[in-house]
Amino acid sequence: MTLNLKFNHNFINALQGDPIIENYTRQVPKACYSKVEPEKFDTANVIAISLDAAAEIDLDKNLFDTPEFNQFFTGQKIYDDMTPYAMCYGGHQFGNWANQLGDGRAIILGDITTKADKKICLQLKGAGSTPYSRSGDGYAVLRSSVREFLCSEAMHYLGVPTTRAISLALSGEEVYRDMMYDGNGAYEDGAIVCRTAPSFIRFGNFEILAARKELGLLKELVDFTITEHFSHLGTPSKDTYLKWYKEVCKTSADMVVHWLRVGFVHGVMNTDNMSIHGLTIDYGPYGWLEDYDLDWTPNTTDASYKRYAYGQQAHMVNWNLVQLANAIYPLIEDTDALQEALDFFADYYKSEWNKMMAKKLGWSEYKESDQALVASLIHLLTSVETDMTLFFRGLAKIDHTLKYDEIPQDLVDCYYDEDLSSDYIVKCCAWLNSYIERCAKDEVSTEARAKNMNSVNPKFVLRNYLSQLAIDKANENDYTMIHELLEVLKRPYDEQTGKEFFARKRPDWAKDKPGCSMLSCSS
Ligand code: AMP
Ligand code: MG
């Protein structure tokens, strides 16, 4: 039996590759990829499948429990028409040019076009080393793979543009990691995630070619990207390059507005982690806002600079877009036109953010006169420890035909502080009463407003401590919580009576626990 997947070789056929086929770490100039196969892990075993993501590539359900599925999604079976490869890319990491990075532990199995005419690239993460592994081992550990598997699917169901994940597997190998970089290393289970995207092309794929002054290849890659993935913009030309760049500005802005809506912090927004499709990619030390804190980052490496903190993310997308503009400049040679696209990004982002906030607050549209009320809400949310997710769900419940002089019961549970100051209570009630006046202008019932709000304010997000609980169990060979979380996170906006456990405020034990509020890049 085979999985009946039909691979195309468009990327490899269109672009120059690495002529060396041996797999050893090196610089790979004048190439967009290197051919490399996944390592052979005899006992690799799939432990979780996202059925919907698998269905996207037209996989027959009957195949899910078969050895063929297991072998394919762990890289053990490479069919004759497959040519796995790793991509060459560079990137700016934490603001500095890092030169060649590349797929150091990701191997693309191949690209397919689905029956629904969707282009999907299948990639294994953690399946062994490649020419781009630098000092790494090419592996991924179970904890980070559980996080990537669950979060990419959770984001998909939240409606946030993202790469997806079909499967999570144990590689069967032990992998050594010093998780907190404190000399207390240990062996952990190795894991492999099969993830999907239209392509895994990143800003860094263009940057490396520009940095190496491989302008012919840069043009080939841009032309390929447009022809293969942005054909609606027209045939490649200077004008099309600009349209394409502007579209990347737009989709990247859309992505970050979604992040801010659901309280997601990516944690490592380096240019090598920026998808050309405006998708959330590379789930590393990401986190979910519990307390609404604009300065919060889960990434311990970024703890002092907070470059990638929640409230910085739009600036950082902008910064990354500037790097992409620099990279493709030689093909366009028009600074004003590129600047115009960046100005568009700034305006578009601002207007989308305003619209998003209006939706979160249950208003039919954003009006200029709403600015002060939204600004004072942000001030309110940051003035005491407030759980963002619970606050917006609670706000949906309050009766907007009343007036408040104490915190309504529906909001009481969203605070981490036990005792709210009288000053805060006065300010909160004043805000609520202004909010109610604003809602009244929309002439919408409390029920209808709640329904609208609950369709954009999730009840269930992958709270940091929930992934950690699932990881702790997985480390004991119990994968049930991974499966259960995946099910709950499929319907993040629904009430899902009986699943309240997964919507609870962060418990105290998780406040400063590694893996819950602090994550290193070790993965
Ligand atoms: P990340 O910050 O996870 O997006 O990774 C940055 C770069 O480091 C990418 O080029 C990765 O492929 C590479 N990398 C991360 N972990 C490993 C590893 N264990 N082995 C090889 N390369 C790695
Ligand atoms: Mg990366």
Q: Is the dihedral of CA 333, 337, 341, 342 positive or negative?
A: positive
Mean pLDDT of 418-422: 93
Query: Ligand 1: does its nearest atom lie under 6 Å from the Cβ of 92?
Result: no
Please, which pLDDT band fits residue 418 given cuts at 50, 70 and 90? confident
Can you count the helices (H) and strands (E) in the chain? 16, 13
pLDDT of residue 179: 86
Q: Which ligand is nearest to the CA of 203?
A: 2
pLDDT tens readout for residues 184-231: 999 999 999 999 999 999 999 999 999 999 999 999 999 999 999 999
Looking up tokens 């990639």 gives 123
Amino acid at residue number 385? E
The tokens describing 185, both together, are: 């290393």
Give yes or no for residue 190 CB within 6 A of ligand 1.
Answer: no
Decide: 370 in ligand 1 pocket, CB within 6 A. Answer: no
Query: Is any atom of ligand 1 closer than 6 Å to the C-beta of 127?
Result: no
Cβ neighbours of residue 104 under 8 Å, at least 6 residues apart? 86, 129, 130, 132, 133, 134, 136, 138
Determine the Cα–Cα distance for residues 507 and 511; give it in Å rounded to an integer.
7
Name the percent of the chain lying above pLDDT 90: 95
Question: Amino acid letter at 155?
Answer: M
Q: Which of 177, 183, 55 is nearest to 120 (CA)?
A: 55
C-beta 102 within 6 A of ligand 1: yes
pLDDT digits (tens, 9 = 90+) for 448-496: 999 999 999 999 999 999 999 999 999 999 999 999 999 999 999 999 9
User: Of the bound ligands, which one is closest to the alpha carbon of residue 200?
Assistant: 2
| Cβ 136 under 6 angstroms from ligand 1 | yes
Per-residue pLDDT at 400 exceeds 80? yes
Q: Ligand 1 centroid to 496 CA: how many Å?
A: 37
What is the Å distance from ligand 1's center to 105 Cα? 6
Catalytic residue among 111, 189, 272, 302: 272
Decide if 272 is catalytic.
yes
- Which 8-state DSSP code applies to residue 280? B
Is the C-alpha dihedral spanning 208, 213, 217, 222 positive or negative?
positive
Confidence tier at 1 by pLDDT (50, 70, 90) = low
Q: What is the pLDDT of residues 313-329, one digit of tens each?
A: 999 999 999 999 999 99
d(CA 132, ligand 1 centre) in Å: 9
Q: What is the mean pLDDT of the chain?
A: 97
Atom of ligand 1 nearest to the CA of 272: 4
Q: Write out pLDDT tens, residues 325-342.
A: 999 999 999 999 999 999
List the chain domain ranges.
7-204, 215-360, 368-443, 464-510
Closest CA to 243 of 252, 233, 251, 228: 233
Looking at residues 138-156, what average pLDDT do you find?
98
Q: How confident is the model at residue 379 (pLDDT cuts 50, 70, 90)?
A: very high
Burial label, 137 (beta-carbon count in 10 A; 0-12, 13-18, 19+): middle
Examine the pLDDT at 51 and tell me if it is beyond 90: yes
pLDDT at 4 over 90: no
CA distance to 2, 41, 280, 450, per residue, from 522 (Å): 36, 22, 19, 41
User: How close is the Cα of 126 to the center of ligand 1, in Å?
Assistant: 10
The DSSP-derived string for 26-40 is ---TT-SEEE-----
Which amino acid, 255? M
Average pLDDT over residues 71-92: 97
Q: Long-range contacts for 302-305 (Cβ within 8 Å, ≥24 apart)?
A: 302/94, 302/267, 302/268, 303/518, 305/94
Please give the DSSP secondary-structure letter assigned to residue 211: H
User: pLDDT (tens digit, 9 = 90+) per residue, 491-521?
Assistant: 999 999 999 999 999 999 998 888 888 898 8
What's the pLDDT score for residue 513?
87
| Residue 124 identity (one-letter amino acid) | L
pLDDT (tens digit, 9 = 90+) per residue, 254-308?
999 999 999 999 999 999 999 999 999 999 999 999 999 999 999 999 999 999 9
